[in-house]
Chains A and B, each alone.
Chain A
Amino acid sequence: MIAVYILPVVFLAVILVAALRKVKVYDSFAEGIQGAIPLVLSLFPYIAAILILSSLFEASGLSAALERALSPAFSFLGIPPEISRLVLIKPFSGSGSAAVLSEILTEYGADSYIARCASVVYASGETVFYVSAVYFAKLKKKTPLAPVLIALASNFAAILFGCLLCRVL
């Protein structure tokens, strides 16, 4: 698999070029790292707020109820009802959707139509609420709703399109 080579090669190439251009690689590396902890500290409150909300939403049974309510609509639009849980959890939690994807792959077989749809749902969009928490965390103007809605809508369109592609390809 080619993917495993990308990272080491990129690192190797960058450090080699840096060394040839007389960059003090050790000092630069340490200087860059300085920003890591402050970055996490500034993002943490927003990440925590989103994750606490998701956990409460899950525990309340509302997410399960929403899943039951939306399944028929999803299957009308061409999304297999077996993956509606994944579609709903995807915008909230990356680790949560990875767990759901694993369950689907185990239950229906990794090469089934359902598993392929689930793979497309998992990989064709980002964890919208999490990204919004991170990207808008440090700004003066707090997270606007319009970009979040746009991202959710276009990712949903991508899911519909992806499930359709899985059927014909």
Chain B
Amino acid sequence: MNVLFIAVFLASSAAVLLSSPESFLPALLSGAEDALRLGVTLAAVYTVWLGFLKIAEDAGLMRALARGLRPATSRLFGTKDERALGYIAVNLSANFLGMGGAATPAGVSAMNLLDAAENRAYAQAMLFVVNCAGVQLLPATVISLREKYGSASSYDVIVPILLASLLSLALGALLVKLVYGRKKK
């Protein structure tokens, strides 16, 4: 990522220097402002969801969910760490149901727990790639946006969206297995 960051930063800075040097600092500051605004939003989102997740955890519901998904998750992520699998289960189901606010904190906790796992690099890459595929039962944002702009059949994109994300999921998981499986040997 450092290489990518340096490359994009240098190329962009050079282009700004040639076209409009006065817009350099405003561009950096506006990015920082976006980050602050997003940070405030995220703090609110995590406040609600982390509180809710703790209730679910104390009620034993997270353990139940983890047990239910374990045959699939423990094979896909190659770990037996109960707590990590619990957070992974919450992360995957929350994403699937369109509860992004719950998915992220659970995903971050799972990533941190996986840091101690034997196959750390593989499991973390897998969790990240699975999350990036964005498999969702109902893409609520898109449907409500389409309705807002006068769509007559706002639901007709659900099937292509689901199939496309499933392809991304399958391909991503396969590539992670190929890349990290080979490295291990």
A26: nearest chain-B partner, CB-CB? B55
Task: Please judge, given known A-B contacts A32-B52, A37-B43, whether A60 and B59 are in contact too, CB under 8 Å.
Answer: no
- Residues of chain A lying within 8 A (CB to CB) of residue B68: none
Would you call A60 and B129 a contact (CB within 8 A)? Answer: no
Q: A47-B35, A144-B1 are in contact. Are A158 and B143 (CB under 8 A)?
A: no
Tell me how far the C-beta of B32 lies from the nearest C-beta in chain A, rounded to whole angstroms.
Answer: 6
Shortest distance between the CB of B37 and any CB in chain A (Å): 9
Q: Is A69 an interface residue (CB 8 A)?
A: no
A10 B97 Cβ-Cβ under 8 A: yes
Q: Is A150 touching B179 in the complex (CB atoms < 8 A)? A: yes
Q: How many residues of B contact A (CB 8 A)?
A: 99
Residues of A within 8 A of B165 (CB): 123-125, 158
The size class of the interface chain A forms with chain B is: 35 or more
B125-168, CB < 8 A from A: 125, 127-129, 131-134, 136, 138-143, 145-154, 156-157, 159-161, 163-165, 167-168
Contact between chains at B13 and A39 (CB < 8 Å): no
Closest chain B residue, CB of each to CB of A34: B50
B127 to chain A, nearest CB (A): 7
Give A15's nearest chain B residue, CB to CB.
Answer: B55
CA separation between A166 and B31, bound complex, in Å?
34
Residue in B50, B136, B147 whose Cβ sees the most chain A Cβ within 10 Å = B50
Q: A55-B31, A60-B15, A62-B12 are in contact. Are A1 and B143 (CB under 8 A)?
A: yes
Task: Report which B residues bind A (CB closer than 8 A).
Answer: 1-5, 8-9, 11-16, 19-20, 23-24, 26-28, 30-32, 34-36, 38-39, 42-43, 46-47, 50-61, 97-99, 104-105, 107-108, 111-112, 115, 120-121, 124-125, 127-129, 131-134, 136, 138-143, 145-154, 156-157, 159-161, 163-165, 167-169, 171-172, 175-176, 179-180
Task: Pick the 7 closest A-B CB pairs, nearest first.
Answer: A32-B54, A55-B31, A52-B31, A162-B164, A110-B151, A59-B27, A158-B168
Query: Which A residues fall within an 8 A CB radius of B?
Result: 1-3, 6-7, 10-11, 14-15, 17-18, 21, 23-25, 28-37, 39-40, 43-44, 47-49, 51-62, 95, 98, 101-102, 105-106, 109-111, 115-116, 119-120, 122-126, 128, 131-132, 134-148, 150-151, 153-155, 157-159, 161-162, 165-166, 169
